[in-house]
Structure 1
Amino acid sequence: MQAAPVRATPIPSLTTALRAVESLLMSGGQRTARRNAWTSVLEDRRRAKDRVEAQRVLDQTLIARP
């Protein structure tokens, strides 16, 4: 007699779990506002990183000139 095959159900990711909790606690408008704010934070960080890189290149260019 063989045992029945066991089917593993995938465990939801942390992101999926947090979004599920978020959907229960917040209205749609609040979720949208929070996501828009987070997107802005990420974009600001990207621009800051780009500025630092550009400044580094400019500094190296100025030092390299005689």
Structure 2
Amino acid sequence: MAITGIKKLVVATLPEDGEFMGGLQAYFSTAGRPEHRPFVQRLLGNVMQQADGIKTDLGAAIGRLRQP
């Protein structure tokens, strides 16, 4: 019952399409840098883009993958 009541109070909306551009540009300007490629390859090698891949607990996974 409490969850149902809370859901009535919470309104979640996405920003307008134009508001995404700044964030995407910032992301790609850093994530696309050559020094990040090895780590991105590790993420993808650990089934990052699978529904049941590491993205279900991405923070912990990144911590593990950043270890030498």
> Same fold by TM (over 0.5)?
no
The structure with more radius of gyration? 1
Which structure's relative contact order is higher, taking Cα pairs within 8 Å and 6+ residues apart? 2
**What is the TM-score when the length of structure 1 is the normalising length?**
0.31
